[in-house]
Amino acid sequence: VAADKKWRIGFSQATTIEPWRAQFNKDIIAEAAKHPEVELIITDGEDKTEKQVADVENLIRQEVDALLVSPKESAGLTGAVQEAIDAKIPVFVLDRNVDTDKYVQFVGGDNKLIGEAAGQYAVELLGGKGKAKGNVVEIWGGMGTQPAHDRHDGFHEFTDKESGIKYLLDQQSGDWKQDQAYNIMATALRNNEHIDLVYGHNDPMAYGAYLAAKDAGREKEMKFIGIDGLPNEGVQLVNKGELTATFVYATPGAEGLRQAIKYLNGEKVEKTVVLPTMKITKENAPDILKANGL
């Protein structure tokens, strides 16, 4: 350990192959650069629970002063998080939760609220409250993650009240991946003559569905809604008119690290920090791109 480093903070990331995770790592690295007293050790779970469990155990062995973890799956990472807690390492859970609340803090977006906003907008796009009509394809994120369940539940709080809305798929998961969503959508297109709206639990999947519809020459038939709203991904897709809307799911990289440092410095921190969201459509996309220098 370099002498000027007061705190060693470990961050176990689930994977880096998804654009949102890449941005997440950029955000936490940029925040770490503002704190010369912090040494940040980042591991990559490579989208495998066993790898991420090994990463966490490795960080425990390195006796980090604090552990940040953004789990691939809730259940699969709970044991490793508990081991860290047992080893008296303060744990900060980011974005996807685990099945214990013995950690110091959770930092992430409110997926239920985001799902509700998406559901409310879907109803509006399909004709409005009490009149909404149409065939809806929903592509789930990873079934073992809380965000996917919350994004589903929130959405259905609005759409289930509409008797004119029909759901074409039964719990199909694209595991957050564009290519898997493409395949699910290609089948849905073959099996259904008309689709009005696609709800992807993240932008890569909404875009994968868009590409499948485009390859079938049917992309104009329907609307596509996603979640994440990264300026260099979802916002650009909305601006091009490929996605109809996306909802910001801010990465907890910067805030998570700031909170951990605060805690290590002896300050009190909240049990939960909720990051804000925002609806992005063609109306505000250009301004957001401009604000991000894109």
Of residues 37-76, which lie at the interface with ligand FRU (CB under 6 A)?
none
Q: How many CA atoms lie within 13 A of 122 on its CB side?
A: 38
Q: H helices of 98-202, where?
A: 111-125, 146-159, 178-191
Give the strand pairing for 105-109 and 91-94: parallel
- 152 is a contact residue toward ligand FRU (CB under 6 A): no
Amino acid at site 211: L
Amino acid at site 155: F
Nearest-approach distance from CB 80 to ligand FRU, in angstroms: 18
| Closest CB to ligand FRU among residues 227, 257 | 227
| Closest CB to ligand FRU among residues 135, 251 | 251
Options 147, 174, 208, 256; binder of ligand FRU; rule CB under 6 A: 147
Options 202, 236, 244, 259; binder of ligand FRU; rule CB under 6 A: 202
Give the strand pairing for 279-280 and 245-248: antiparallel
Q: 126 with 197: CB under 8 angstroms?
A: yes
Residue that is written with structure tokens 């290519």 in the block: 179
- 155 is a contact residue toward ligand FRU (CB under 6 A): no
State the DSSP H helix or E strand holding residue 20, giving kind and residue range, or none if neither.
helix 19-33
Options 13, 105, 145, 277; binder of ligand FRU; rule CB under 6 A: 145
Nearest-approach distance from CB 164 to ligand FRU, in angstroms: 29
Of residues 87-116, which lie at the interface with ligand FRU (CB under 6 A)?
95-96
| Chain residues that interact with ligand FRU, rule: CB under 6 A | 18, 20-21, 95-96, 141, 145, 147, 176, 202, 227-228, 249
